[in-house]
Amino acid sequence: MIALALHLDRDDPRPLGVQLSTQIRDRITSGGLAPGARLPSSRALAADLGVARAITEQAFAQLVAEGWLVGRQGSGTFVAAARPAPARRPDRPATPGREALVRLDTGTPWIDPRHAAAWRRAWRDVAAATPPAGYPDPRGLPELRT
């Protein structure tokens, strides 16, 4: 097991777990931690740094997920033998997308531009036939009165 000389800055706006995982990752990439090196247990590292064990477990879990560390049940956590492959970048920048064929805004009806004039006429006809706003006649519709 290797002793790590790590320092967490409590004034740093980044969470302690992020600081810890960044420092361990930097040690691995700089060669300070060789492949196969055993790290301290999460409990021992947490006690050494004066933080909760959950913080060291979070950092270890992140680095395992990224491929920098390997956890072996009952044996501990080790630096991975192979470095993770760097993320691939596209060969060329993405081309700007073309204009959307259909607007999918919420609360906005979609009207085929070919039928827009017909819809406007229908809305005008309905608006003209609608009685003025207000309360209806309390006696009900004239057609229904006896």
Pairing relationship of beta strands 69-72 and 38-39 according to DSSP bridges: unpaired
Q: Which residue(s) pair with 71 in the sheet?
A: 77
Q: What is the pLDDT of residues 54-98, one digit of tens each?
A: 999 999 999 999 999 999 888 899 999 887 777 777 777 666 666
**Residue 23 clears pLDDT 70, i.e. is over it:** yes
pLDDT (0 to 100) of residue 138: 87
Find the radius of gyration of the CA atoms of the chain.
33
Taking CA atoms, 25 is separated from 31, 62, 64, in Å, by 10, 10, 11
Residue 6 and residue 41 in contact, taking contact as beta carbons nearer than 8 Å: no
Domain boundaries, the chain: 16-79
| One CATH from 1.20.1560.10, 3.50.50.60, 1.10.10.10, 3.40.1280.10 for 16-79 | 1.10.10.10
List all residues 6 or more positions away from 6 whose beta carbon is below 8 Å from its beta carbon. 20, 23, 24, 45, 49
Cα 139-144-146 angle, rounded to 5 deg: 80
**What values do phi and psi take at 69, rounded to 5?**
-125, 160
